Amino acid sequence: MRNSLIVLSAAALLPAPVLAQDSLQGCRALADTARRLACYDTLADAARPAVALLPASAPSPEAAFGLPESRRPDSIDAVRSAVGPHFAGWGPNSRIRLDNGQVWQVVDGSSVVVSEGARAVTVKRGALGSFLLDIEGLKTSPRVRRVE
């Protein structure tokens, strides 16, 4: 029992690669099945915090901007990007793909025709949870919602 306690206490301090090699061998060597199972359980519990400390793959504030769950106290109020060289305006329900990969749909029924060309854009928060798409060189901004 003394040897198994040493293995168990050391398991909590060792990095995962060492746990996988040395401590598993110690658990495997235990003859009593209850002690062997307890040894494996302890190793699994010791490895669990290392997995929990890995960074979560949470999207950046810019990538999450406009998505329903993005309204947090630390969220941003605007995103700057551009539209490609084939942009020539919008109509009701048009989808506008930004250079950052986001896709926004016009929801206010407005329409504008402009000469084709790339333009800088800013999507900003409006009133009551809405979003406005400011397009360089235009005095009108369609109300939009994020679809992708």
pLDDT in tens, 111-132: 999 999 999 999 999 888 889 9
State the amino acid at position 57 in one-letter form.
S
**Which tokens go with 68?**
């329903």
Please count the helices (runs of H) and the strands (runs of E) in the chain: 5, 8
Residue 98 DSSP code = B
Is-contact 145 107, C-beta < 8 A?
yes
Going from N- to C-terminal start, the domains of the chain cover 2-52, 61-146
pLDDT at position 69: 65
pLDDT in tens, 37-75: 888 888 777 766 544 444 556 667 788 887 776 555 557
**Which tokens go with 90?**
């919008």
